[in-house]
Structure formats: structure tokens, C-alpha cells
Structure 1
């Protein structure tokens, strides 16, 4: 079934909304600690989404499975949000966005480990090789200087760990939270992570945040968290769960362009050479080379 005009608009919105966080994180960490960014972002998102979840009666089913909701929040938010904030103190936002795009590679590896035979096709295997070769090109190419900058190397490891965590999170939802409304899961997880990180943020030594950093934090909480999840739910309802994540192939382009145009980041040779390898590798690993994957029945709770 062809994608409607509304579907294409939602695709564009998601490509922008989840391509922007790396810019805002880079701005926020200038004067705000990573822990404070996590606390602020999640609490702002929870303040916006919780009333909607209560109105739609989505919260109670999530509360009934709170241990798994907390596990999802830890894997999807608590770990990644902190790691991204720390990593972007050492590497450019565009590089971060591109490295996070390796999520399909890790998802394919997880599928193989779980015994999914379809993940072992030759083209999917080739995609894994090409994608991780792209990562090596990015890391070893000029620009990051990981050989002489241990902080940059550690930041790359942190971002790749984020990609791994993002690949794990859907498996928790699919196996343990399948019947729980997505809005309830996201709202409760945001609130729990925000409460967890608030005392850490308050006790962490920090300087007075600048207006620019505060504005970036507000944008992270409102646009890249609350609004983005609402749009994502709408996109799933419009095009289905199989085609909804396709916008992730555009996110790195947005992240790199924003980093260059707004932050003045350099387009290093390693980034330019590794970018197409990562994107092509992710596409092959995720789709097996097919333009359109066959639709599989899946229940999406909202």
C-alpha cells in the first residue's frame, strides 16, 4: 500500500525530530552535566506525556508491569541519554548521529544470537561486514584522532554502546511489554528515569547553565522526547510497525548537516568515506537487500 501524504509528512517530521538531539546535546553539555541533561530531558517529557497517558488510560497497564517498564527505561533512556551526553563532550555531534545509526547492525547480530535464521542470509551478513567496516573507517580516519586522543576513542565506544542498547530495547517491548500501550510505557519510563537522575544531577558539581544550554535542554525535552514520541505513535498508526522505522536512515544526514551548518563542525575525510558504508550496511543488514520487507502481523498498542 502506498504511503499517504500524511505518512510522508510524519516521516519528514521524525527524520528531523530524531536527527536534532545530537545538536541539542552538544549545546547542552557546554554548561550542563550529562546527568542533569538526562534528568531535565526525561522530566520535561514526562510532564507533557503523562497527562495524555492518563487521559487515554494508558498508564495503569504500564504500572502493572513496572519492572519491565523500568528495564525498558534503563535500556532506552537511562543508559543512552547519559552516554550520549558524556560522549559529545569529546566528539562532534554529526559523528555521534552517524554512529548511533548502527542500531540495525546490532539488531541483526542480536537476531542471529536469538536463533533467527532469516538474519543469517548472505546479504545480511554482507551488510554487517560493510556497516562495521564503515565504523572502522570513521574511527580511524582523520578528524577524530582516536589514536592520540583516548577521550575520543572512549566516546566512540560509548556511542556504539548506545546503539547496542537501542537495539536491545525493542526486544524488551516485543517480548515483555507487547500488550502494554506504548504511551503508558514511555510516560512511566520517562518519569521513573527523571526521578532517578534528579538527585544525581543536583549533587553533581556544575557551573551556572547558560541560556543557550537551557534552551537546548528544553528543546530536547519538548521536541526530541515528548513531541517526537507522539509523532512516532502517529507514524506507526499511519504506515504500520514494519515501515515506520525507515526514517532512521535519514537521521544521520540531518545530524551531520546541523553539526556543520550550526556548530561549524568539519566534514572529516573519515566521516565522508564511512557514511555511505554505514548506511548501506545498515540497510542490507535490516532488509536483506529487499526494497520492501513483507509485512508481518504485529500488534501495536496505543
Structure 2
């Protein structure tokens, strides 16, 4: 990869490792619905001008686009924000690292993945063990429901790319993302209005919401599509292995979140298992998915 590509990769690894920290700061003062509405509305306003001329292609696939928006943005971002009212940002980031493993299983079930060899099966088992360790640590401090919410987030992130691969292959990624953000903002708006803060949020919370929308949503997708164009979808989604490490480092260093032995072991197991499970050999090639139809497929994104 070129120096420019490495810079894009580093930027994306950082940008998609930061949201957990920002969400944790925001939900201390505003509702999860407000977090979803703020970031999607800001992201839509920024991206729509770049996608305006291609919106007709998205409208022709409006129902799959709606499904993708619900599975990729509305549902996961609400559940993630709600879970982070009880879980540490670092633990949330580590649990979402399980999403590429679930995506592999879903792809195999619906036939997009032809074969899963022995080493990849071992990776699945290791990753599940890591999730069990992380989930056990999380349930000790916050109860079962926030951990279940994070696993549901991972399920949404696993299914959404398959919807894109099967139903949205011909839709350009940037306008599709802009429309999905618009749909998500419209869906979340009434829920955000009902749970409007009784007192004005602090500058910290407002800043977190603005950064979520501008940096971690609008700019993130623009850079990610550029990274896909320069490095290809397979290399681009390798950020899935770096984002959780960034989330863990930021949570521990900036918010003083605990780094227990159980969390450390679970993190290593999830990341190692995900690497093995999603690693391809020459005998395990899946049908190619065009870069134009790739959103964040497989990457650990928020």
C-alpha cells in the first residue's frame, strides 16, 4: 500500500475507534434516541450534497435501503448508545469486534460464503470464547441486558452487509449512505423529541454529538470509500482489528475505565479468533462483492 493509503488506514482506525468514547460522554446527558438523531442528521446534511445527482439510483432500491438503514444504523446505534449508559466504552468496542465473525456465519447460511475450513472454525470457537469472557465481565458490573444489547448490535452489523451484497450491489455506496442516514434521522426524530433533555446539555455533550456526526459519521464514510478505492474492500475492512484496540486504549487512558485480566484475555481471544475466522485461504474464495456496493461490510464500525 502507498503512504497515502496507510494514512487513510490509520485515520479510519482512529476515527472508528473514537465513537465509543464520544457516545459514553453524550449519553450521560441526553437520550440514546437523541444520540442517533444528532449523528445521523449531521451526517446526512454533510453527505447529501455529494450524492444529490445519484439519488434516483437509490430510490429504485428503496425497500432494501430501508432495511439496510434499520440494520446498520437505527437499531445498532440506538442499542449501542443505550448499552453505554451501563457498560464502559472500551468494553463496548471490544464486544462489537465480534461482528465480522457473525457476518461470516450469516454469509455461510445464505450462501455467499461457500466454505469455512478448519482453521476458520477454530477462529469462530476462539472468538465465541472471548465474547463469553468479555460478556461475563460486563454482566458482573452492569447486568445481562447491556451485554445482550451489544451482541444485538453485532448481529445487525453482521446482517446489514449481506443485505447490501445481495440487494444493493448496483447502488453507489456514497448516495446510499447519505439516504440511509437521512432515513435514520427521520425515524429517530420523534423518539428524540419525546426524550428531549429537560436542561440544556453541557458543551462536553454537545461537542460529543457534533463530533459523532461530523467526524465519526460523515467524514468517516467519505474516507472509508476513498480507502476502499485505493486499497480494495478486503484490506479496507482490516480496520476491524484495530478499532477495538483504539477504543480500549482511549477508554482506559482518558476515562480511567478498568482493564481487568478477564477483559484483557477476552480482548485477545476475540481479536485473534476474528482474525482466524475471517482469514481466507486460496481454497476458500467467496464470490466477489464490488467495491461500489461495499459500505462498511465486515469492519467494526459505529
Give TM-score scaled by structure 2 length.
0.92
Decide whether the 8 Å contact of 2:21 with 2:251 is kept in 1.
Answer: yes
Q: Which residue pairs with 1:110 in the alignment? A: 106
Decide whether the 8 Å contact of 2:27 with 2:84 is kept in 1.
Answer: yes
Q: Which residue pairs with 2:146 in the alignment? A: 155
1:189 corresponds to 2:180:
yes
Q: Which of 170, 175, 193 pairs up with 1:179?
A: 170
Q: Which residue pairs with 1:123 in the alignment? A: 119
Q: Which of 60, 63, 69 pairs up with 1:67?
A: 63
Deviation at 1:33, TM superposition (A): 0.3
Q: SS where residue 58 of structure 1 aligns?
A: helix
Q: SS where residue 242 of structure 1 aligns?
A: helix
RMSD: 1.9
Decide whether the 8 Å contact of 2:12 with 2:223 is kept in 1.
Answer: yes
Q: SS where residue 301 of structure 1 aligns?
A: helix
- Return the alpha-carbon distance in structure 2 between the equivalents of residues 114 and 294 of structure 1: 15
Deviation at 1:297, TM superposition (A): 4.4
Task: Give the number of aligned pairs.
Answer: 292
Decide whether the 8 Å contact of 1:236 with 1:244 is kept in 2.
Answer: yes
Q: SS where residue 192 of structure 2 aligns?
A: helix
Q: SS where residue 91 of structure 1 aligns?
A: coil
Q: Which residue pairs with 1:198 in the alignment? A: 189
Decide whether the 8 Å contact of 1:108 with 1:119 is kept in 2.
Answer: no
Q: Which residue pairs with 1:261 in the alignment? A: 253
Runs of 5+ unmatched residues, structure 1? none
Report the CA distance shift for 1:214/1:205 in structure 2 as closer, same or farther (over 3 A).
Answer: closer
- Return the alpha-carbon distance in structure 1 between the equivalents of residues 61 and 270 of structure 2: 36
Runs of 4+ deviating beyond 6 Å: 293-296
Deviations 1:217-254 (A, max 9, x none): 00000000000000000000001112210011000110
Q: Which residue pairs with 2:51 in the alignment? A: 53
Give TM-score scaled by structure 1 length.
0.92
Q: Which residue pairs with 2:16 in the alignment? A: 18
- Return the alpha-carbon distance in structure 2 between the equivalents of residues 10 and 275 of structure 1: 25
Q: Which residue pairs with 1:36 in the alignment? A: 34
Deviation at 1:192, TM superposition (A): 1.1
